[in-house]
Amino acid sequence: MPKFEKKGNKYREIGYSADFTVFYSDGHTEVVDIGIVTQQFDLRKKLFEYCYPHELKLLTYSKIDGGWITHDELKKARKARKEAKFG
């Protein structure tokens, strides 16, 4: 988002730079970010989704789930463990 002024206040530009961009031979592009979901990431993801047609994939490390997995896979695994524990 570019910088702007409103009612005498100056706002800095907001940018987003992911960790990796993967270009596939079939022509599609995937953007990969490493980390955890925070409020700041949610806002950046929303800006990314608005500005770019590419898929944004968030990877995170989970020792219990075997290493690097997508955040969506982590949510599913945690839900499955919770359901198995509490029925």
Q: Render pLDDT for 11-30 as a digit per residue (tens, 0 to 9).
A: 998 877 889 999 999 998 99
User: Higher pLDDT residue, 51 or 82?
Assistant: 82
75, 78, 84, 87 alpha-carbon torsion, rounded to 10°: -70
What pLDDT sits at residue 11?
95
Q: What angle do CA 69, 81, 46 make, to 5 degrees?
A: 45
47: Cβ–Cβ under 8 A, 6 or more apart, which residues?
1, 14, 16
* C-beta of residue 62 within 8 angstroms of C-beta of residue 69: yes
> Is the predicted pLDDT of residue 87 greater than 80, yes or no?
no
Q: What is the pTM of this model?
A: 0.69
What pLDDT sits at residue 32?
94
Q: Render pLDDT for 50-72 as a digit per residue (tens, 0 to 9).
A: 888 888 999 999 999 999 999 99
